[in-house]
Structure 1
Amino acid sequence: MGIWNAHTSVGNITGSLLAASVLDYGWGWSFIAPGMFIALAGVLVFLFLAAYPEDVGFPCSNVPAARVEAVARDVEAQAQSEGIVEKGKNAPIREGSGVRRSVGLLEACMIPGVLPFAFCLFFAKLVAYTFLYWLPFYLSQTEIGGEYMSVKSAGNLSTLFDVGGIVGGILAGHISDKLRARAITAASFMYAAIPSMLLYRIYGSFSQTMNIVLMMIAGLFINGPYALITTAVSADLGTHSSLRGDSRALATVTAIIDGTGSIGAALGPLLTGFLSTKGWNTVFVMLMLGALIAGLLLSCQVVAEINDKTSKLMRSTSGLQSSEVSPSQPLLSEQR
């Protein structure tokens, strides 16, 4: 999913480059040109995107095959008893037969891990979208290598933050799959984002090369958890064991998590507008504090995953020791 979620950063890069390319015609075109592409994408989605698997001939993912067959048999038996259909003919299954109602909003919030990850994403997107919206302005207002760059050059250079974000999303997904520990991975990336932002603020103005390297490193650690939570974590929680196989909760859980994060995405750039008047150091303090809070919000999940890993390691170790001791037991019994 980290690879799939790269489309988010690709869209950010494309939008920034498109907006920067039309700056010569006026600031207004930086909104009109991307808006035209959004309208075109909306038409394509409306015409060609299938909303449900069954719309293109696939079985409904919400109903297990065994349940579908059972419902079919029940419907056919009832129809035959009433003389509606002849024996051997298949009766149509009514849509929604035997299917549970959709999970409610409150019920979805009660799924273990939904709220901690939702509030973690709030602060993660607060940091990520502050960079997305304010980084071009920051670059144009900061002396880098002894000179200032134009607004157009700053817009083009800022896209490298999302290049690092693509790598971070893929890396976070790969690590979490290998470790089977979503919270540990997300929290570790958020904690690592704090020193990366500090280094970028202190040393990013030394040279353009240094700025690019540190910017991409910061993008890697900032966008990594954001990509992980909006994809793999949402899918895991949306199919949690407490739902008893009702996969329709996936959309509700994703909406709760990503919706909470979007509030942070709106709040971060807004606060930056006020804090930037007091200096960029104040802005970076806010961003580092947000990353710290995002990591701390996952503390309970991190502890639970560590305990789970520790218990599994202890069980495997004890099992290995028992297998090493067991061959000697027949010899002891023979000696007796």
Structure 2
Amino acid sequence: MGKEPIGIKLLPSVSRGPTRDVAYKIYILVLTFFCYTCYHLSRKPISIVKSRLYRNCSDPSVSSDERNGTECDWKPFDKSDASALLGGLDLAYLFAYAVGMFCSGHIAERISLRLFMSAGMILTGVFTAAFGLGYFFNIHSFYYYVIVQIFGGLAQSTGWPSVVTCVGNWYGKGKRGLIMGIWNSHTSVGNILGSIIAGAWVDGAWGWSFVVPGIIIASMGVLVFLFLVPEPADVGCTEPASDQGKGNEETQPIINRDDNPKRSEAVSIWRALFIPGVIEFSLCLFFAKLVSYTFLFWLPKYISNKTSYSAEKAGDLSTLMDVGGIAGGIAAGMFSDYTRGKATTCVVMLVLGAPMMFIYNEYGSIDYAHSVGLLLLLGFMVNGPYALITTAVSADLGTHKSLKGNAKALATVTAIIDGTGSVGAALGPLFAGVISKTGWNNVFWMLIGCDILAIVFLVRLVYKEIQLWKLFGCREPLEDNNEEVTVQNR
């Protein structure tokens, strides 16, 4: 109870027993949901503002005042190499995010999760706002924006290992796919809110598109410091026990983790890599996240280029992909819970996602109705596997039975998987910025190729899941039967 946050001490006490456990579980799920909503809310503005930083002054959407005197773009993004420069900003941010992710997982296992995430959110707010201050202070140095993006990426990397570890500490494996599928909608909700907030100022004083999200996430960081409870033991609750192959939600009494050196020992990155499935899902996410983040950072500009829509309208329309992504993440979680086949679930959605990207590129700009319908379907297929791997898959592998009860692997495993995916996320927008000069069709062929490569890395795991279904049926927990299958195969 000594680790109870200050804010929790000020709240009305909750009765002991099961009611207390359930109340805290719901509370943690809601709080972490809003936390990561703020993370995505603060990283979305750059994709909305891109079409404002570089605009064709002969475009009909540009007012006569802008053509005749005021700037219709922003130096240094006012020349023909604007796409490459904007792609460079994405690379700086996402590469820093990927590097920071590996470090964050390592750190998060060793210090207070509450302090770590609180500091990360406040710093994220500072650097998000700093990008927008470039507008108010009339800063036109490319290096200023690059440096801000680098530090912003490092600060953002504190979020994912922290929230996944926190939720994983409170919830067992039973129905984890569905719970985390619903919970993971924070990603899309954050993107939608970020698009709306940034879009409100994009055609005017675009600096507010960054300053306002920066204030929001920094304020949320203060609330995290006051109210986040990373582990049940911090408030005297019971923790979820291992499922032991039964898919239940049994609980066990809290033990003093300091009395159990084995549980207190943090897991090294090297050891985490040898947990079965970590490498395959990491490489799959490399390509799946490359595709997802290319859309995240370039979809509004693509829509603006393919249609006559303004930057604000294109940004609003792009949010429909996130709406579809919410449904895709929930559907992936439900299906994986029912079948116990997470790799198979990912592959099915990836297989459907490749032709969906081709169809959207061909027919998505015909009219508004086509854009709406196809964006919803595209988001469903593209974001479903990405959501499942970064949530339920990461949480399951971080508590894999090969760890023999060690509770200090979740953040490390999450960081390895999402960090590897973030390297792909860094490369995707960069490639898109370069390839878009040759035509958007080539960008989509690149994305389709990456989608296919994501499938390839899960083929072995899908084969194993099929073999397990034949032996035990789709309702049995697959990971707990792996040893039996290995023995029989021998």
TM-score, with structure 2 as normaliser: 0.56
User: Once the two structures are superposed, what CA deviation does each residue of 1:306-330 show, in whole Å capped at 9, x if it has no partner?
Assistant: 111122359x9xxxxxxxxxxxxxx
Cα distance between partner residues in 2 of 1:219 and 1:55: 38
**1:60/1:161 CA distance change after superposition, 3 Å:** closer
Residue of structure 2 in register with 1:52 after alignment: 231
Cα distance between partner residues in 2 of 1:60 and 1:4: 19
Residue of structure 2 in register with 1:167 after alignment: 327
Amino acid at match of 1:17: I
Cα distance between partner residues in 1 of 2:196 and 2:414: 29
Equivalent residues of 1:62, 1:246 under 8 A apart: no
Equivalent residues of 2:294, 2:432 under 8 A apart: yes
Structure 1: which 5+ runs fail to align? 69-92, 317-336
For this pair of structures, how many residues does the alignment match?
Answer: 286
Amino acid at match of 1:226: Y
Cα distance between partner residues in 2 of 1:127 and 1:154: 19
Cα distance between partner residues in 1 of 2:431 and 2:209: 23
Residue of structure 2 in register with 1:203 after alignment: 363
User: Once the two structures are superposed, what CA deviation does each residue of 1:113-136 show, in whole Å capped at 9, x if it has no partner?
Assistant: 001101111111111111111111
Residue among 242, 246, 252 paired with 2:412: 252
Equivalent residues of 2:239, 2:253 under 8 A apart: no
Residue of structure 1 in register with 2:190 after alignment: 11
Cα distance between partner residues in 2 of 1:65 and 1:16: 43
Cα distance between partner residues in 2 of 1:258 and 1:109: 13
Deviation (angstroms), 1:251: 1.6
> Is structure 2 residue 451 aligned with structure 1 residue 287?
no
Residue among 195, 198, 201 paired with 1:22: 201
User: Once the two structures are superposed, what CA deviation does each residue of 1:183-229 show, in whole Å capped at 9, x if it has no partner?
Assistant: 00011111111000000001112111011111110100000001101
Q: 36-45 or 195-204, which moves further after superposition?
A: 36-45
Cα distance between partner residues in 1 of 2:396 and 2:359: 34
Matches within 5 A, 1:1-336: 1-59=180-238, 68=255, 96-100=258-262, 101-143=265-307, 148-312=308-472
Deviation (angstroms), 1:65: 5.5
Cα distance between partner residues in 1 of 2:324 and 2:254: 46
- Return the index of the structure with the highest Cα Rg: 1
TM-score, with structure 1 as normaliser: 0.80
Equivalent residues of 1:126, 1:261 under 8 A apart: yes
**1:274/1:245 CA distance change after superposition, 3 Å:** same
Equivalent residues of 1:53, 1:61 under 8 A apart: no
Deviation (angstroms), 1:24: 3.3
Amino acid at match of 1:112: P
Equivalent residues of 2:238, 2:253 under 8 A apart: no
The alignment's C-alpha RMSD in Å is 2.1
Cα distance between partner residues in 2 of 1:260 and 1:62: 29
Deviation (angstroms), 1:60: 6.3
Equivalent residues of 2:241, 2:252 under 8 A apart: no
